Amino acid sequence: MADDKKTIIVFSGDLDRAMAALIIARGAAAMGNEVTLFFTFWGLNLLRKPAPASVKKPLLDALFGWMMPRGAGRAKLSKLHMGGLGTAMMQHVMKTKHVPSLPEMLQEAKEFGVKFIACTMSMDVMGIKAEELIDGLEYAGVATYLGHADDANLNLFI
Amino acid sequence: MADDKKTIIVFSGDLDRAMAALIIARGAAAMGNEVTLFFTFWGLNLLRKPAPASVKKPLLDALFGWMMPRGAGRAKLSKLHMGGLGTAMMQHVMKTKHVPSLPEMLQEAKEFGVKFIACTMSMDVMGIKAEELIDGLEYAGVATYLGHADDANLNLFI
Amino acid sequence: MADDKKTIIVFSGDLDRAMAALIIARGAAAMGNEVTLFFTFWGLNLLRKPAPASVKKPLLDALFGWMMPRGAGRAKLSKLHMGGLGTAMMQHVMKTKHVPSLPEMLQEAKEFGVKFIACTMSMDVMGIKAEELIDGLEYAGVATYLGHADDANLNLFI
């Protein structure tokens, strides 16, 4: 039923915005909804493996890859990052308050059955290869996103 | 009826984004819609009282509180802030053009019956207490948001 | 039918966010949807003509106009802009990978029948005149947006 589906485009790779996306996704999945996260642009960085993958790339692709954070564990706050201090403070506060970390939230969302789709067009533009991304993803483009969105009763862009 | 409900997640505390959220909320409410604004993360700062509240807090919570703007009157532009100059220019321009200020828009939205919900999980993470926030709010989490969103025909994340 | 309509509020004037908006808009239009893009705030800059228009303006309006990019060809990345280097790299990469440029995407979206609406209230606040914007636009406010959104099954804020 339409009422049971939600989609979120995870465009941002910022810690705070990614947390918002995952808290909604996890909450909706826990309430029995079918949730699809569509990771695109900076959001793809959340899906990168922490260790560098040994893939051959053109120079500019390699440069972009080198400048962008590898994985959810390295996501930064969009505000008050302050050279890392603010982000570290936030992560510390989350820990003391027993809020799961971003990598833990990603893992939990998966266990709740949230579907993760990596946007293939963004991967192409940003020079990110499937080998660099975590397991358990689907790969698709805008037509697939629109198909999911048409069936959903909540569609957010974060 | 479903057609009469709208929700907006006010994630951003930036002047420009908050204005967009409030202009849509006020417009929808004026047209007879039931509108819910769900304030989360930086958006919570829009609801803070301008004067510091005398609440005891752990050090990191106090630090975050001290670094974030207290109230809609101190929200900054996301672009062209320029150390305050751009934001002041924008506020001046809005005044000369008889556009209500952000605090006035908040007040008007309330008078139009827009429902304001403060996200309790974000309050916990950011160390913001109910005593620091303006009156007339409801307090709830993601499940409440999802309940409202399921009944709405317009759901935005700003 | 409701299933055939989509709206996107193009609030951001950033290259990456504007690309996301246009890729979705173009995709949806190609699949037979009626798509409306509502350009507001920084998003209006995407619609400016590249050449300065000779319109008389109050000083502050002229200043804002001078500080903001004129047209989609001058949009910057929201991240990794690096004084222009990152944006130029991205544009170069897009070219080598045969991804259309942002101005080309705008043009294609128009040819696919996507409706472009410029937000008149934002134009007023930012001091942007119709003469400064590209041809083929409609001009309207929040009530028109809400009318479109009510008929749509996908509404995003980007």
Q: What is the pLDDT of residues C56-71, one digit of tens each?
A: 899 889 988 989 999 9
Mutate to test the interface with C, among B15, B102, B108, B153 (most CBs of C within 10 A): B153
A24/B142 touch (CB, cutoff 8 Å), yes or no: yes
Q: Cα–chain-centroid distance for residue A68? A: 13
A28 vs B contacts (CB less than 8 Å)? 146
Question: Could you report the per-residue pLDDT of C24-37, keeping only the tens digit for each?
Answer: 999 999 999 999 99
C49: pLDDT strictly greater than 80: yes
Kindly report the nearest CA distance between residue B157 and chain C, in angstroms.
7
Helix (H, G, I), strand (E, B) or coil at C39: strand
pLDDT value, residue C140: 98
pLDDT recorded at residue C52: 83
Find the mean pLDDT for residues C148-156: 97
Give CA torsion, residues B43, B45, B49, B52, to 10 deg: 170
Task: Please report the ipTM that was assigned to this predicted complex.
Answer: 0.94
Q: Is A140 on the interface with C (CB under 8 A)?
A: no
Taking 80 as the threshold, does the pLDDT of residue B20 lie above it?
yes
- Report chain C residues whose CB lies below 8 A from the CB of B158: 11, 157
Assess whether pLDDT exceeds 60 at residue B110.
yes
Domain residue limits, chain B: 2-157
Neighbours of B98 (CB within 10 A): 7
pLDDT tens per residue across span A51-83: 887 888 998 899 889 899 999 999 999 999 989
Distance from CA of A91 to the nearest CA of C (A): 22
Name the residue facing A80 among B11, B67, B150 (closest C-beta).
B67
Interface of B with A in 49-78 (CB under 8 A): 60-61, 63-64, 67-68
Which residue, among B110, B39, B111, B108, has the nearest Cα to B75 in the 3D structure? B39
Give the per-residue pLDDT at A146: 97
Contact B89 C40 (CB under 8 A): no
Q: Mean pLDDT of all residues in chain B?
A: 94
The confidence band for C3, taking pLDDT boundaries of 50, 70 and 90, is low
pLDDT at A1: 41
**By three-state DSSP, how is residue C81 classified?**
coil
C157 touches chain B (CB under 8 A): yes
Residue B70, classed as helix, strand or coil, is coil
Cα distances (Å, whole numbers) of residue C111 to A3, A121, C26, C29, C117: 34, 21, 9, 10, 15
For B42-91, what is each residue's pLDDT tens digit? 999 999 999 887 888 998 899 889 999 999 999 999 999 989 999 999 99
CATH class of C2-157: alpha beta
Residue type, B158: I
Contact across the interface for C79 and A157, Cβ inside 8 Å:
no
In the prediction, which pLDDT does B3 show?
A: 57
Inspect the interface and report whether the beta carbons of A125 and C28 lie closer than 8 Å: no
Size of interface A-C (CB pairs under 8 A): 61
Give B101's DSSP letter. P
Q: Which of A61, A67, A155 is nearest residue C154 as measured by Cβ atoms?
A: A155
pTM over 0.90? The answer is yes
Nearest to A20 among B11, B67, B156 (CB): B11
In this complex, the chains that touch A, judged by 3 or more CB pairs closer than 8 A, are B, C
User: Within an 8 Å CB–CB cutoff, is residue A148 touching chain B?
Assistant: no
Q: In the predicted model, what is the mean pLDDT of residues C95-107?
A: 95
Q: What is the pLDDT of residue C2?
A: 42
Give yes or no for residue B146 having a pLDDT over 70. Answer: yes
Q: Do A89 and B64 touch (CB under 8 A)?
A: yes
The answer to whether the CB atoms of B20 and C40 lie below 8 A apart is yes
Which pLDDT does position A2 carry in this prediction? 42
For position B54, what pLDDT does the model report? 81
Is pLDDT above 60 for B2?
no
Neighbours of A51 (CB within 10 A): 9
Question: What residues pair up with C6 in beta bridges, in sequence order?
Answer: C35, C154
Candidates A7, A9, A16, partner chain B, best to mutate (most B CBs within 10 A):
A16
CATH number of A2-137: 3.40.1260.10
CB distance C37 to C10 below 8 Å: yes
For residue B38, the model assigns a pLDDT of: 98
The mean pLDDT of C90-97, rounded to a whole number, is 93
**DSSP, residue by residue, chain A:** -GGGEEEEEE----HHHHHHHHHHHHHHHHTT-EEEEEE-GGGGGGGB-SSPP-----HHHHHHHHHS--SGGG---SSS-GGGHHHHHHHHHHHHTTPPPHHHHHHHHHHTT-EEEEEHHHHHHHT--GGGBPSS-EEE-HHHHHHHHHH-SEEEE-
Residues of A whose CB is below 8 A from C99:
121, 124-125
A30 close contact with C: CB closer than 8 A: no
pLDDT digits (tens, 9 = 90+) for C123-144: 999 999 999 999 999 999 999 9
| Interchain CB distance below 8 Å, A40 and C27 | no
For chain A, which ranges sit under pLDDT 50?
Answer: 1-2
Local structure of B48: helix, strand or coil: strand
DSSP letter, residue B112? T
Q: Which residues of C touch B154 (CB under 8 A)?
A: 146, 149-150, 155
pLDDT at B55: 86
Distance CA C80, CA A68 (A): 9
